[in-house]
Amino acid sequence: MYKKYHIWTIGCQMNVADSRQLASRLESLGLTEVAKAGEADVIVLNTCVVRQQPEDKARNRLNSLKPLKLSRGDNLVIALMGCMVGKKEAETLPDEFPFVDFFLEPSKPDLLVDFLRAKGGDALLPVAEDLEDYRLPDGEENAVCAFVPITLGCSHVCSYCVIPYRRGPDRSRAPEVILKEVRALAAQGVKEITLLGQIVDRYGMELEEWNLAKLLRAVCQVDGLARVRFMTSHPAYMDEELITAVAEEPKLCPYFELPFQAGNNRVLQEMRRGYTREEYIRIVKSIREKVPDAGINTDIIVGYPTESEEEFMDTYRLLEELRLDVAHIAKYSPRPRTLSSQQEDDIPGEEKERRRVMLDQLVESILSEKNGRYPGRTVEVLVESFQEKTGRWRGRIPQGNLVFVEADGAMPLAGELVQVAITWAGPYSMIGTLQEKGDETV
Ligand code: SF4
């Protein structure tokens, strides 16, 4: 009956993790993956609505599947998942997309499995009893890095963000379930685990005796892992215990994803972020005191309703002062049901673009300067994959910077920690040559 599946994914790492979980479940039912949607019996679109652009892409993609469904009828299942499908939307989407068979809310892959089993009857293989014996899907058997969600949803309700309406309030997955999944991934050869949450540092709020620092220390004990990361942190929940864990645990990468979104206190308050510019600066200082070589990435929104030129310049100056490592700049766009969508989106598009470009240029100059320190130094790289096109291996240093490694292309390097002498550095990547073991690492 249903033999082949195809999953299309757009959006954040949480969606990537959800798609991988779903692929693993579908393969436990006996389905195999196909690269083309037209060849599949089950097509899943995993969607993102955090901004208008990915939502438009998902809608276009979905509409392009309509003729296929009309011609194949019951022999094809089309499922829509991810942030397009919140509790409320699940009631209205069937009217808009009557050719879609199943709508499933984010992070609930088992619902689709149950649906297919009900439709497929005996033709489908039974699901492996212990679903926590999580298997990497076909084609990803050699994955070096994997994402593991640890908190689902978000309770913060920032004024501009649609996530709480689609993914619900936050809840922590049980530590023993997470550790079992991590062990299963490590046993299959995964070397780097990134623990995920919309506010990852809220992990354990409702659990006795657990918090993110404790969980990270436990994950670092899992045999076979080389590196552990976590994202995305929220400045209001970042505490000294967590920063100390990063400083002390050798496997815990000196890497923080810490969005500040705006550098002006009035705008931060409007956004309901829950911290001030001064508090954010204090956290960054504390991280740099305890973890001097830390990579700190951030997210910034420009053109929030009523953001004045002077307020935008506060954001510019904050980035300039803190010299963070990477900043993802987004232009504000109103999202349905959010508090800020009730306000006029009063900053013109060209002005948002001007502010975005200004920040982008600042990011680039900071990165050029910071990466400029690397040529001549030797760094530790976890090799992720080989790039046929360039003949180089691709990997990252613990701080997250991308490195292309020149080595003998025939050498089986993926998954290895290697020493690399950096020979060239640009703002967004570096190139280096493979060194013998024992060289000094920065
Ligand atoms: S913390 Fe704010 S921006 Fe992040 S997911 Fe939650 S509501 Fe959205």
**Model confidence pLDDT, tens digit, residues 201-235:** 999 999 989 999 999 999 999 999 999 999 999 99
How far apart, in whole angstroms, are the C-alpha atoms of residue 386 and residue 394? 6
What tokens were used for 190? 């995964």
User: Given this model, what pLDDT does residue 140 score?
Assistant: 78
User: Given this model, what pLDDT does residue 102 score?
Assistant: 94
How far apart, in whole angstroms, are the C-alpha atoms of residue 190 and residue 17? 14
C-beta 200 within 6 A of ligand 1: no
C-beta 163 within 6 A of ligand 1: yes
C-beta 335 within 6 A of ligand 1: no
**Model confidence pLDDT, tens digit, residues 313-370:** 999 999 999 999 999 999 999 998 999 999 999 999 999 999 999 999 999 999 999 9
Mutate to test the pocket of ligand 1, among 12, 14, 50, 156 (most ligand atoms within 8 A of CB): 156
Spacing, Cα 404 to ligand 1 middle (Å): 33
Spacing, Cα 159 to ligand 1 middle (Å): 9
**Model confidence pLDDT, tens digit, residues 264-274:** 999 999 999 99
* pLDDT over 70, % of the chain: 95
Evaluate if residue 438 carries a pLDDT over 50.
no
Overall average pLDDT of the 389-415 stretch: 88
For residue 177, what are the CA distances in angstroms to 133, 188, 287? 10, 17, 30
**Model confidence pLDDT, tens digit, residues 124-163:** 655 554 445 577 887 777 899 999 999 999 999 999 999 9
Give the mean pLDDT of the chain: 92
Evaluate if residue 43 carries a pLDDT over 50.
yes
C-beta 152 within 6 A of ligand 1: no
Nearest CA to ligand 1 atom 8: 161
C-beta 268 within 6 A of ligand 1: no
Nearest CA to ligand 1 atom 4: 198
Written as one letter, the residue type at 222 is V
Mutate to test the pocket of ligand 1, among 199, 201, 232, 340 (most ligand atoms within 8 A of CB): 199
C-beta 12 within 6 A of ligand 1: no
Nearest CA to ligand 1 atom 1: 156
Spacing, Cα 153 to ligand 1 middle (Å): 9
How far apart, in whole angstroms, are the C-alpha atoms of residue 332 and residue 304? 5
Q: Quick one: pLDDT band at residue 442, thresholds 50, 70, 90?
A: very low
Spacing, Cα 74 to ligand 1 middle (Å): 39
Counting atoms of ligand 1 from 1, which one is nearest the CA of 198?
A: 5
Number of residues that make up the chain: 442
Mutate to test the pocket of ligand 1, among 49, 152, 158 (most ligand atoms within 8 A of CB): 158
Evaluate if residue 165 carries a pLDDT over 80.
yes
**Model confidence pLDDT, tens digit, residues 53-87:** 899 999 999 999 999 999 999 999 999 999 999 87
Phi, psi of 220 (to 5 degrees): -65, -20
Which one-letter DSSP state was computed for residue 174? P
Overall average pLDDT of the 425-433 stretch: 95
How far is C-alpha 217 from the chain's CA centre? 21
C-beta 291 within 6 A of ligand 1: no
**Other CB atoms within 10 Å distance of the CB of residue 318:** 20
| Among 57, 115, 53, CA closest to 335 | 53
Counting atoms of ligand 1 from 1, which one is nearest the CA of 155?
A: 6
User: Given this model, what pLDDT does residue 109 score?
Assistant: 86
Evaluate if residue 279 carries a pLDDT over 70.
yes
| 3-class state of residue 47 by DSSP | strand
Nearest CA to ligand 1 atom 5: 198
Evaluate if residue 433 carries a pLDDT over 60.
yes
- Contact yes or no for 212/230 (Cβ under 8 A): yes
- Contact yes or no for 397/403 (Cβ under 8 A): yes
Nearest CA to ligand 1 atom 2: 158
Mutate to test the pocket of ligand 1, among 154, 234, 273, 335 (most ligand atoms within 8 A of CB): 154
- Is the torsion defined by CA of 307, 311, 314, 316 positive or negative? positive
C-beta 234 within 6 A of ligand 1: yes
C-beta 232 within 6 A of ligand 1: no
C-beta 259 within 6 A of ligand 1: no
Spacing, Cα 154 to ligand 1 middle (Å): 6
